[in-house]
Amino acid sequence: MFERKINNAELWLKIRKLRELINQTPNFKKRACFECGKDLNIYDFLSDNLEFTAGYVLDMWQNALFEFFCCECFKILKKDEIMLIEKEIKTRYCSNCNIPINIFKFSNEYRHLKISELKEYWLKPDSKIFCSRLCEKKFYSSKDKKKF
């Protein structure tokens, strides 16, 4: 929740910056979902990609080489990709409480991760996987205590 609030302030600044940049872009593109053809909004795209600067988001938007998807189509694509990861490793166990986790539960809990990051965590044998963010917190806080 706290994380969200910070992101909102950051998002707001980036939206303003992006608006300025668009005003200075005479050939600003209209974009539609590559899959279903629905009109896309660059500000939605920005809010999904907060790790990028407004300028970079605009560059990607204007770049004919990139394909864009609406939220719904993206979710379906994501699900397909997750199923491919599931084929490699079906179950992992929480590094804190040891309960079995499947990749769908994991991806739901760690929604902010990109598919590539999700895949990396899930498939790397020595990576720590947690059933929830709470478990992750517990794990690292008990570890800190042991150090002292």
The least distance separating Zn ion from the CB of residue 6, rounded to whole angstroms, comes to 26
| Range 66-105, binding Zn ion (CB under 5 A) | 70, 73, 94, 96-97
Applying CB under 5 A, does 129 fall inside the site for Zn ion? no
Q: How many residues bind Zn ion (CB under 5 A)?
A: 11
Q: Would you state the torsion angle of the CA atoms of residues 46, 50, 52, 53, taken in this order, to the nearest 10 degrees?
A: 70
* Strand partners for 32: 39
| Cβ nearer to Zn ion, comparing 21 with 89 | 89
Stretch binding Zn ion (CB under 5 A), from 9-17, 30-38, 60-68, 83-91 = 30-38
d(CA 131, CA 103): 10
DSSP string, 96-131: TT--EEEHHHHHHHTTTS-HHHHHHHHH-TTS---S
d(CA 120, CA 89): 12
| Cβ nearer to Zn ion, comparing 33 with 60 | 33
Q: How many CB atoms lie within 10 A of CB 2?
A: 6
Applying CB under 5 A, does 36 fall inside the site for Zn ion? yes
The least distance separating Zn ion from the CB of residue 41, rounded to whole angstroms, comes to 12
| Cβ nearer to Zn ion, comparing 82 with 101 | 101
Binding site for Zn ion (CB under 5 A): 33, 35-36, 38, 70, 73, 94, 96-97, 131, 135
